[in-house]
Amino acid sequence: MTAQTDTAGSVTTVYQVSGMSCGHCEGAVSGEISGLPGVTSVKAVATTGEVTVVSAAPLDDEAVRAAVDEAGFELAGRA
């Protein structure tokens, strides 16, 4: 599981999402997670299944799971 506090006071967490296969998938997951309070940046990579999220504070894993589910994919956990 990866979560680290950046020097600017933000937190970077890498999640593993299963089912992404293209740019549209990346956009759907990024869009849903971006809507969570405190999220400042999201980068999804379909080829690895990794989604890197930068937020003002640590995110609730269940909130991230719900956002990924809403996009139509499955949160496998933190990378």
Global confidence as pTM = 0.89
Q: What is the pLDDT of residue 9?
A: 80
Q: What is the pLDDT of residue 8?
A: 66
Give me the CATH code for the 2-78 domain, please: 3.30.70.100
- By CB atoms closer than 10 A (0-12, 13-18, 19+), residue 68 is buried
Q: Which residues pair with 41 in a beta bridge?
A: 54
pLDDT of 76 over the 70 cut: yes
Distance of CA 41 to the CA centre of its chain: 9
Section 22-42 average pLDDT = 97
